[in-house]
Amino acid sequence: MFNRSIDKSNISINFHKFDISKINSYLPWPIEITGFLNGKADISGSMNDIVLIGDLIIYNPTYDKIEANLLNGAISYQKQNLYFDDFNIITDSGFYTMTGKIPINTQNPSIDSVDIDNLPINISLVGHTNKIEFISPYFNSMDSLVSQENIDS
């Protein structure tokens, strides 16, 4: 007989230069992520209801063609969503803050089983930069993109 009361765990993990490309098969898209993770995470709950809370620093993170020098902040995972809270991203030419959530299906990590329309990504990115690094890698023929926005309250 399966006893649900003992099917719970409390685990603390410390990361030191963990290669995050090892988790690519669990993400709901075919885009590669890379970087080296340092920090701490606490995991609790059962396999069907995992809760993760962590403070992380990722050196040399990449997401597809987007590269940064450093990414750090607090994360949490519950109900099949990974939440970012004031994640700081430092690049060669700017500084960004990211907040939001990304769905991650721990029950069935097969990429073929994920319908992104039913598991939407919700990310807010605010920053200051001299170069729009998140757009230009996707346009080979782009010579330049210039913009200046001022919002006065």
Using the structure block, give the residue that is written with the tokens 């006893």: 3
Let me know: does 75 contact 82? Beta carbons within 8 Å: yes
DSSP helix/strand/coil, 130:
coil
pLDDT at position 63, please? 86
For 14-59, what is each residue's pLDDT tens digit? Answer: 999 999 999 888 776 788 999 999 999 999 998 778 899 999 999 9
pLDDT at position 3, please? 47
Residue 109 has pLDDT above 70, yes or no: no
What contacts 117, CB < 8 A, 6 or more positions away? Answer: none
Residue 2 has pLDDT above 50, yes or no: no
**What one-character DSSP code corresponds to residue 133?**
T
49: its two tokens = 């209801």
pLDDT at position 1, please? 38
Return the sign of the alpha-carbon dihedral for residues 98, 104, 109, 113. negative
CB contact burial 32-51 (16+ within 10 A = b; e otherwise): ebbbbbebebeeeeeeeebe
Let me know: does 15 contact 56? Beta carbons within 8 Å: yes
Q: What is the pTM of this model?
A: 0.70
